[in-house]
Amino acid sequence: MRETRNVQADAYQLILEAIDTGTYRPGDRLVESELAERFGVSRTPIREALQRLETQSLLARDGRSLIVASLDHNEMAELYVVRAELEALAARLAARHATEEEVRVMRKLIEEDKARLGDPAALARSNRAFHRQVHLASHNRFLVQQLDLVFRSMALMATTSLAIEGRGEVALAEHGRIVDAIAAGDGDAAAASFRAHISNAFETRLTRNAAAYGAGAG
């Protein structure tokens, strides 16, 4: 029984990671047989993993098929509101609880990201690592769990705001201000810096979406 549960968990994680990394993007159809062959597992754990992902609204029905879900404008706005508040709380708690080692890791991640500014996909992956480091530094397991759920839904956005010219440099500067506030133990500044960071990311994404819509309409 334990082995069966492990296979089910592995299938779920494999599909989730494929969505998170963009192997499967919003609107892509997921087929049991193809997934089983890709990941080298039987169709039963794949089927159960797909049912679980559908329950979590990461997959949606398109007739008889399952596709990777997408977020409309209102859903995206709602997600950013929740994300901003939860990550601001994580930063506030990190300012109280982060160890010196955790702060050094955050600074190291920012420095390493400077070499990725020309690669939006790589920068997006490392950006998630930075954010998770702040989450973990809050030392609040329940908050980390909720943020994990939020970031799963973030994978349903077809593009990253970091792909927009100039956003990467600005985001790294914002990360630096967040870490400075955490290192100083200033919870108010850490929370405010994180809210500003998320607000700017949201505005950048909205600007890109509006430009894409305008180009399509033309």
Domain ranges of the chain: 2-68, 73-217
pLDDT score of 8: 53
- Spatial neighbors of 206 by CB under 8 A, at least 6 apart, are none
Which residue type occupies 174?
E
pLDDT band at 2 (very low <50, low <70, confident <90, very high): very low
Q: How far is residue 98 CA from its own chain's centroid?
A: 22
CATH number at 2-68: 1.10.10.10
What is the pLDDT, as a whole number, of residue 78?
Answer: 95
Mean per-residue pLDDT over the chain, rounded: 89
pLDDT in tens, 77-123: 999 999 999 999 999 999 999 999 999 999 999 999 999 988 888 88
- The amino acid sitting at 169 is E
Name residue 67's amino acid: I
Report the percent of the chain where pLDDT is more than 90.
62
Average pLDDT over residues 40-62: 92
Q: What confidence score (pLDDT) does residue 120 get?
A: 82
Q: What is the CATH number of domain 73-217?
A: 1.20.120.530
Rounded CA-CA distance 187/208 in Å is 32
More confident residue, 198 or 163: 198
Confidence of residue 187 (pLDDT cuts 50, 70, 90): very high
CB 49 within 8 A of CB 11: yes
Q: Is 135 exposed, middle or buried (0-12, 13-18, 19+ CB in 10 A)?
A: buried
pLDDT at 137 over 60: yes
- Strand 59-62: give its sheet, edge to edge: 29-30, 65-68, 59-62
Q: Flag the least confident range among 136-145, 147-156, 169-178.
A: 147-156
pLDDT (0 to 100) of residue 3? 45
> Do 2-68 and 73-217 agree at the fold level?
no
